[in-house]
Amino acid sequence: MRIVSLILAIVVGAGLYFWIIERERTLAFLAGGAETAEGDTADAPLNGAAEASGDPDTQALIRVVARASVAREIDNAVVLRGQTEAAREVEVRAETSSTVISPPLRKGTFVEAGQLMCELDPGTRASTLAEARARLAEAIANKTEAESRVPEAESRVIEAQARIDEALVNQNAARRLSEDGFAAETRVKNADAAVAAAQASLEAAKASVTASRSGLQAADATIESASAAIATAEKELERLEIRAPFAGLLESDTAELGTLLQPGSLCATVIQLDPIKLVAYAPETEVARITPGATAGARLAAGGQEVSGEVTFLSRAADPTTRTFRVEIEVPNADLKISDGQTAEIAISAAGAKAHFLPSSALTLNEDGALGLRTVDEDGIVAFNSATVVRDTAQGIWLADLPDEINVIVVGQEFVTAGVTVAPTFQEQTQ
């Protein structure tokens, strides 16, 4: 019993081998045998004579199915998968401390650029501004007074110089009279004292001029300080009104009425969706085919909406982890129907190329592992042509780097090698 089981297993295995592995040859053998059995008996002596003569044309050939293909010009687009991204997104935060006194705006509200979103309680800031302005007025008045003192001090210098000149004349006269014996020695001493007093008055007048000018500079500094205090107070009042930096949608509610905001506290998040960006990452093999300004189209996964735009940015530095390059495409979105974060199938136009449209099952590998097609010429001789996949679709694939006209083996290519002669049967091109 074991021997019978073993024999049956061998027979079944051989049958499966010839039916699955050698299916094409088995079918060809069976078809050849049936044609011989059903042939005209009158031709039997002729066929037998031909076989006996050893004519190679009559030897059994492997039957394959081939398709005549002609290359066509296609738009060689770069196909990427990406997502939509808001053109701008900003978290608007407070710059000062105070309590919100304005009612909140709800998320989803469209705000214009400069529209008030959060208003804060001014507190004593108005009083601070009024005090700074009063100090400025006082500083201006002090400067006016200081300016009036400068000419007065300068006139005193002139007066003191005149007195010195007069004292010097009197001193000179007293000395001459004393030398001639017409004046007492005390008169000379009095004249010397008068000169010294006049010189002291001159120095005091010059010091007064310097002090007046110093007072003028101090007044200018006080004015600058008061002006800075006014600017600070006005800026502090401006910070009480938190406004939208650009037109967009509120991604969150604004701060609730009565909320205490500190510097850095969030008022609201604003996003700009018109225009919107499509962001994808191109591999190293495709980035050279993408140029800024190239037209691009995309199909959104949600609803199948189709949009178009142009490439506005192509990164020159690859991501260190994925070795891919960021690509941004700007797309109009006036109706705001496209949201941030939607998945999109993106096609970026590139230079056109000639390619053959064939079923993906026609692809095979040669002995060296190269991807390509097996073709057959007019004499039935098989050849291998390496090919490059340009685009893959559900209906088939587009292959480039091939001759313009070829006969591609689409059935049986796995059972033949380059240089073998086959009997091809041609089928019509469906697309």
Reported as a single tens digit per residue, the pLDDT across 163-189 is 777 777 777 777 776 676 666 667 667
Which pLDDT does position 430 carry in this prediction? 55
Question: Given a cut of 60, is residue 36 above it in pLDDT?
Answer: no
Average pLDDT over residues 375-392: 88
Question: Given a cut of 90, is residue 330 above it in pLDDT?
Answer: yes
Question: Given a cut of 60, is residue 48 above it in pLDDT?
Answer: no
Question: Given a cut of 50, is residue 52 above it in pLDDT?
Answer: no
Exposure of 354 in the CB half-sphere (CA atoms within 13 A):
9
Task: Give the C-alpha separation, 309 to 294, whole Å.
Answer: 9
Question: Given a cut of 60, is residue 57 above it in pLDDT?
Answer: no
Question: Given a cut of 60, is residue 47 above it in pLDDT?
Answer: no
What are the residues whose beta carbons fall under 8 Å from the beta carbon of 219, sequence distance 6 or more? 139, 140, 142, 143, 145, 146
Which pLDDT does position 315 carry in this prediction? 94
Residue 97 dihedral angles phi and psi, to the nearest 5°: -100, 130
- Map out the domains of the chain with their CATH numbers: 67-74+353-427 (2.40.420.20), 92-120+242-270 (2.40.50.100), 125-238 (1.10.287.620), 272-348 (2.40.30.170)
Task: Give the C-alpha separation, 111 to 391, whole Å.
Answer: 44
Amino acid occupying residue 59: Q
Which pLDDT does position 188 carry in this prediction? 67
| Greater pLDDT, 186 or 358 | 358
pTM assigned to the model: 0.55
Token pair 């993408």: residue: 290
Which pLDDT does position 181 carry in this prediction? 66
Amino acid occupying residue 266: L
